[in-house]
Amino acid sequence: MSDQVRIFDTTLRDGEQSPGINLSGKEKVEIAQQLAAMGVDVIEAGFPINSQSEFEAVSAVAANTKGPVICALARMSSKDIDRAWESIREAQRSRVHVFIATSPIHMEKKLHMNPDEVYAAVVEGVERSAGYTTDVEFSAEDATRSDPEFLVKIYQAAIKAGATTCNVPDTVGYALPHEYADLFRYLIDNIEGADDVVWSTHTHQDLGLAVANALAGVRAGARQVEGAMNAIGERAGNCSVEEVIMAIQTRGASMGNVYTGADTKQIVRTSRLVSALTGYQVPPNKAIVGANAFAHEAGIHQHGVLMERTTYEIMDATSVGWESNRIVLGKHSGRHAFSKTLGDLGYELNEEELGRAWTRFRDLVDRKIEMTEADLVALVTDEMSTTPDAYVLESFQVRGGTHANPTAKVRVRMGEVVSEESAEGDGMIDAACGAIKRAVGIDCRLVSFKVAAVTPGTDAVGDVSVQVEVEGARYTGRGVSTDVVEASARAFLNAVNRATGVGAHKPADIAPSF
Ligand code: MN
């Protein structure tokens, strides 16, 4: 058995199932390319049967991402499988991932199928997938609440039908580490040909055990770990990819000398990009990628770290790419330096996008003297989510204070159409959102609002994430500016753009729950 643990990143599929995340095809490609730079082995790009735009987004990832295997998810139906294959056939290497639930509760209440019917569906679905590609993954949804003897039969059948990766999902985050390890050992010991396939973990955070369970699986023979960046996902989220990579990097020797192929220095950049494009901010105390993950507040710790880093740090901040608070550009930087720095950061912008980003940059350095790498990433990802046919905030004005009613006036452009509106509100942000609502003529409601500073200081770039509800569905939006009201207005409009489907896809009609 090889000691390399493959990293299967499902940020773009299971991670994207978080409420309110609706990534456009372009944003999915951007994230996929950064995941490739980070050296993940497999990228699950989406669930193509879900919608036309999801199909197009997965196809775009397949055609534009070099390096990792590109994977598409399908249920055990010929329609799903054909669509999945079609979306990824352009990839350098492609994988079809088929799943079906095997727990009594799922088979009975959700699928309305008996175990024999599920068995037959597995054989048929895996065979059909194997007709397209030699790289087929099979998942028994809710495996940890399934009858282990039935699982032996099911995985055995999947392997015979051509599955090359067998995933054992803890779909609802129910397993404990020792139970999860026991399940892998039991399956591997009792299935013929188990050593010829790769066993995979898929764990969830409902009890906060996703990483612990994944590592327990690795100890028991799993050689692929599935997870999402920043642990995003439905409910409490997926297994954190960055935590698994760094746990293996730091403690792999204690787990049978396992290792991954990841370039750990790309972790912080990947985390930032995912946070920026999903609108899901990273908590400051999050392991590895939280702002405080390597900060030492307590005096005694600071003293210890200054004397010798390893007294209180088990990892070096630079090993995960925490150097991005350094200043890269300022007031006197020219367009050439700007474009070169973006290139170094891995962005490929066309002339039009570069022009817009440059205008925003000039505007920002007028208000903020120095720009760090983190500021630039925030600015460019903000600008990237703007498409030519989207609503654009041309200008805004707010008035408020202790004795004045907060009022806002906005000018919003969509293509050739410009609309100007004003509104009053409880505060300036409320007034600005109210004016935008009028200008775009869409009935929407702000349901959550979060503000964070990209870098410290009173001239910091404010990073605002909002969730907006339109016709019962939630959309995430994000905006950055040194002015928090402007950042809020941009975030609100960004969410409206997603809701109107400009370059983004609508929430899942059929969400795979696994
Ligand atoms: Mn899942």
> In angstroms, what is the span from residue 374 Cα to ligand 1's centroid?
30
Higher-pLDDT residue of 26 and 221 is 221
The predicted-structure confidence for 56-78, as pLDDT tens digits, reads as follows 999 999 999 999 999 999 999 99
3-state secondary structure of 21: coil
Q: What per-residue confidence (pLDDT) applies to 512?
A: 60
List domains and CATH numbers for the chain. Answer: 6-278 (3.20.20.70), 294-322 (no CATH), 335-384 (no CATH), 392-502 (3.30.160.270)
Q: What per-residue confidence (pLDDT) applies to 267?
A: 96
Q: What mean pLDDT comes out for the span 295-316?
A: 72
> In angstroms, what is the span from residue 32 Cα to ligand 1's centroid?
19
Q: Where are the alpha helices (DSSP H) in 191-266?
A: 210-219, 241-251
> In angstroms, what is the span from residue 238 Cα to ligand 1's centroid?
7
Q: What per-residue confidence (pLDDT) applies to 402?
A: 85
C-alpha span between 41 and 89 (Å, rounded): 17
Written in H, E and C, the secondary structure of 455-502 is: CCCCCCCEEEEEEEEECCEEEEEEEEECCHHHHHHHHHHHHHHHHCCC
> In angstroms, what is the span from residue 122 Cα to ligand 1's centroid?
19
Residue 229 DSSP one-character state = G
> In angstroms, what is the span from residue 483 Cα to ligand 1's centroid?
38
> In angstroms, what is the span from residue 504 Cα to ligand 1's centroid?
22
The alpha carbon of residue 480 and the mean position of all alpha carbons in its chain are separated, in whole angstroms, by: 19
**Two tokens, residue 166:** 């067998």
C-alpha span between 104 and 113 (Å, rounded): 10
Please, what is the average pLDDT of the chain?
90
C-alpha span between 327 and 333 (Å, rounded): 12
> In angstroms, what is the span from residue 126 Cα to ligand 1's centroid?
20
Burial 72-88 (b: 16+ CB within 10 A, else e): bbbbbbeebbbbbbbbb
Please name which of 195, 260, 257, 206 lies closest in space to residue 231, comparing C-alpha atoms.
Answer: 206
**Two tokens, residue 267:** 């972790």
> In angstroms, what is the span from residue 226 Cα to ligand 1's centroid?
9
Please name which of 273, 313, 272 lies closest in space to residue 290, comparing C-alpha atoms.
Answer: 272
Q: What per-residue confidence (pLDDT) applies to 265?
A: 95
> In angstroms, what is the span from residue 135 Cα to ligand 1's centroid?
20
Written in H, E and C, the secondary structure of 49-82 is: HHCHHHHHHHHHHHHHCCCCEEEEEEECCHHHHH
| Dihedral-angle region of residue 295 (phi above 0 means left; psi in -120 to 50 means alpha; beta otherwise) | beta
> In angstroms, what is the span from residue 487 Cα to ligand 1's centroid?
33
- The answer to whether residue 254 scores a pLDDT higher than 70 is yes
> In angstroms, what is the span from residue 115 Cα to ligand 1's centroid?
22
Q: What per-residue confidence (pLDDT) applies to 72?
A: 98
- The answer to whether residue 412 scores a pLDDT higher than 60 is yes
> In angstroms, what is the span from residue 170 Cα to ligand 1's centroid?
8
- The answer to whether residue 411 scores a pLDDT higher than 80 is yes
Q: What per-residue confidence (pLDDT) applies to 503?
A: 45
> In angstroms, what is the span from residue 156 Cα to ligand 1's centroid?
22
The predicted-structure confidence for 160-215, as pLDDT tens digits, reads as follows 999 999 999 999 999 999 999 999 999 999 999 999 999 999 999 999 999 999 99
Q: Are 109 and 134 in contact (CB under 8 A)?
A: no
> In angstroms, what is the span from residue 230 Cα to ligand 1's centroid?
14
C-alpha span between 350 and 341 (Å, rounded): 15
Global confidence as pTM: 0.89
- Residue 126 binned pLDDT confidence (cut-offs 50, 70, 90): very high
Q: Are 339 and 441 in contact (CB under 8 A)?
A: no
The predicted-structure confidence for 494-514, as pLDDT tens digits, reads as follows 888 888 875 445 555 556 667
> In angstroms, what is the span from residue 497 Cα to ligand 1's centroid?
28
> In angstroms, what is the span from residue 265 Cα to ligand 1's centroid?
26
* In the chain, % of residues over pLDDT 90: 62
> In angstroms, what is the span from residue 202 Cα to ligand 1's centroid?
7
C-alpha span between 299 and 307 (Å, rounded): 12
- The answer to whether residue 370 scores a pLDDT higher than 80 is no
> In angstroms, what is the span from residue 54 Cα to ligand 1's centroid?
18
Q: What mean pLDDT comes out for the span 19-24?
A: 86
Residues 6+ apart with CB under 8 A from 67: 36, 39, 92
Q: What mean pLDDT comes out for the span 415-438?
A: 93
* In the chain, % of residues over pLDDT 70: 93
